[in-house]
């Protein structure tokens, strides 16, 4: 298995632009998580899905952030409009819901908003 695949690996954009981050979970996994990592706040959960349904989005910072999971093999995290304070590494992770201790991470997307 190729693991959790995230794209792009790096994204540089200007303030006000729309940014879309993509994630392909491991085949067969039915839980998907989006995390954000910054120096100041560490790793924070933004949102997670079980069976393509959002379960907890309390970590989404504000309405500029939205996440979708249209099917079991694809998820997006969108920021519109982007701001410099959104600059961070965004991680996607997946697991079998029943296998709570085995969470697999992607390599992350480094987002820089100028």
Partner 1 sequence: AQTVTQSQPEMSVQEAETVTLSCTYDTSESDYYLFWYKQPPSRQMILVIRQEAYKQQNATENRFSVNFQKAAKSFSLKISDSQLGDAAMYFCAYRSVRRSQGNLIFGKGTKLSVKP
Q: How far is the CB of 40 from partner 1 (least distance, A)?
A: 9
Which listed range, 13-21, 61-69, 74-82, 93-101, lies at the site for partner 1 (CB under 8 A)?
Answer: 93-101
What CA–CA distance (Å, rounded) separates 48 from 64?
A: 17
Q: Per rule CB under 8 A, is residue 105 in the interface with partner 1? A: yes
Rule CB under 8 A: say whether 10 interacts with partner 1. no
Three-state secondary-structure class, residue 52: coil
Which of 17/51 has CB closer to partner 1? 51
Least distance to partner 1, CB of residue 9, Å: 9
Q: What gap in Å lies between CA 55 and CA 31, rounded to an integer? A: 10
Contact predicate 11/20, CB 8 Å: no
């Amino acid at each position: 298995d190729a693991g959790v695949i995230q794209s792009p690996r790096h994204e540089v954009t200007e303030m006000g632009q729309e940014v879309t981050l993509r994630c392909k979970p491991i085949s067969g996994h039915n839980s998907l998580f989006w995390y954000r990592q910054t120096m100041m706040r560490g790793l924070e959960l933004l949102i997670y899905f079980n069976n393509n349904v959002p379960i907890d989005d309390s970590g989404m910072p504000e309405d500029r952030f939205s996440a979708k999971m249209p099917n079991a093999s694809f998820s997006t995290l969108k920021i519109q409009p982007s701001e410099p304070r959104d600059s961070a590494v965004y991680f996607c992770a997946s697991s079998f819901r029943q296998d709570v201790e085995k969470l697999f991470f992607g390599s992350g997307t480094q987002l820089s908003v100028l």
